[in-house]
Amino acid sequence: MRLISKFVLAAALAFTSPAVAREVTDHGGNTVTVPDAPQRILSLHDWTLTVMTKELGAALIASAGRLAPDGDTFIRGARELFGLNFDQIALASIHGKPDLERIRSLKPDLIVANIGDYGALREQLSTIAPTLMFDAENGSKPFDLYSEYAGWIGRDARFDELKAAYDKRIADAREKLPKTLTSGTYAAILANERDGTLTILKEYGVQTSVLDDLGMGRTTLAQSVPAGQSRMTIGAELIGDIDADLIVTSYLPETGETPDSIFAALSRIAPGYEAFLRAYEAKRILSFSRYETYPPSFRGADIFLDTLAASFE
């Protein structure tokens, strides 16, 4: 049986460790031996892992991308934040349709993937290169996850640099911004114009991170999101309960939405909302491009803070 022998040989190969320096425990609970300073990182999730890897200045060679209806491929999030496209790095796979052979042909020395889409592929990916599974929605704060990830790929120093600049910026902002923005309450929502529902977000990229760091509190409704879930869908009947000092939301530019779409959506979902949402009167309903605020990134945080400052001058 030649194939059985192949199997034994392959198994032996898979367990031979290359010359490496560190052990990392990923979000799947696996301990993986990874290169000290990976030189060819391949990311399988565009708007979390690719964005973070790019921002940390690590050696990113390829990323998963999305297929637009016209057949074009693009890197969601990293395209908007860093202008990254597939002329600069290689296409690893179309999102949700992993092509292991293409991934292998790119010769990565570290693969990073999100556990929700690629958890089942870990064993096969590990035959190509050390593979780390990342879980963006395990309930931790986005910047804590980011810090952890920087450690995985050996870019702690760069992360600390960025974090220090960010902390300084937050401290500045706390002095310059109006008091309500440093001590009031906020609600992060998504409005579903189609069926008239609202989604209350517990953790949502830089949106919740920055507002938490500024010192804002959450509404009671946001605190009632069940543990282990990052969001909850409610009917528009309860729109009165998101009556916070600041309401933040996001839009998808791809679908033709703009920062003002939220107002149209709200008046459709909850006609007359202008009268009973404090934030409306104080012009504190802000909408951000989802591609800039969902990914955990300091660039995104900067954009977010810029917009915030510009709105309250």
Partner 1 sequence: MKAGLGLALATVVLCLLCALHLAAGARFSSPALVVDALFNHDPRNYQHVVVIKQRLTRLVVAGYAGAVLSVSGLLFQKILRNDLVSPSTLGINSGAVAFVILGIYIFELNGAALFWPALIGGVAAVAVTFLAAGLVSRGGRDPLSLILGGAMTATLFSSATTFAISLDPDRFGNLMGWLVGDIGNFDYQPLAWLWPVGLAGIGLAFILCRQIDLLTLGTEQAAMLGADPRLVRAGTLALAIPLAISAVCVVGPIGFVGLVAPHITRLLIGETGRVALAFCALCGAVIVITADIAARTLLAPQLLQVGTVMALCGGIAFLVIVVTTLRRRVA
Partner 2 sequence: MMRQYLTLRIGPAIHFPIRLRPALMMLALIILLGIGTLYSLRLGSTDLSMSDVIRWLMSWHDADPETSAIMILRWPRIIVAILAGAMIATSGYLLQVVARNGLADPGLLGISQGGMAAVVLGVAVFGLSPAWLAWAGLAGGFATAFFVMALAYRLSSSTGLILVGLAVGIVLSAAIEIIMVRGGILQFARWLAWSHGSLTSVSVGGAGMVAIWAAVLLPMALIASGQMMPLLLGHEQAAGIGASPRRLSLFLTMIAAALAAPIVAVVGPIAFLGLIAGHIARALVGERPAEVMPVTMLCGALILLIADTAGRTLFLPVIVPAGILVSIAGVLTFLIAARLSPSSR
* List of residues contacting partner 1 (CB under 8 A): 66-67, 69, 76, 94-97, 190, 192-197, 221, 224, 232-241, 252, 254-255, 268-272, 275-276
The stretch among 7-15, 53-61, 242-250, 300-308 that binds partner 2 (CB under 8 A) is 7-15
Residue 132's closest CA among 148, 146, 144, 115? 115
Residue 178 Cβ vs partner 2, minimum distance, rounded to whole Å: 33
12, amino acid identity: A
**How many chain residues bind partner 2 (CB under 8 A)?**
40
Strands 285-289 and 246-251, by their bridges, are parallel
Question: Using CB distances below 5 to 8 A depending on partner kind, what does residue 101 bind out of partner 1, partner 2, none?
Answer: partner 2
Helices (H), 153-277: 156-176, 180-183, 205-214, 220-223, 261-269, 273-276
What burial class does residue 112 get, using C-beta atoms within 10 Å of its C-beta: 0-12 exposed, 13-18 middle, 19+ buried?
A: buried
Write the DSSP string, 66-129. Answer: EE-TTS-EE-TTHHHHH---TTTSEEEEETTB--HHHHHHT--SEEEEEHHHHGGGHHHHHHHS
Write out the binding residues for partner 2, residues 251-310 only, by CB under 8 A: none
Minimum distance of partner 1 from residue 266's CB (angstroms): 12
Q: Scan for tokens 């909408």, then name that residue.
A: 287
Q: Which does 11 bind (CB under 5 to 8 A by kind): partner 1, partner 2, none?
A: partner 2
User: Among 85, 124, 147, 261, which residue sits at the site for partner 2 (rule: CB under 8 A)?
Assistant: 124
Instruction: Establish if 29 lies at the interface with partner 2 (CB under 8 A).
Output: yes
Residues in the site for partner 2, rule: CB under 8 A? 2-3, 5-7, 9-11, 13-14, 28-29, 67, 73, 91, 93-94, 96-102, 104-105, 116-117, 119-124, 127-128, 199, 229, 231, 233
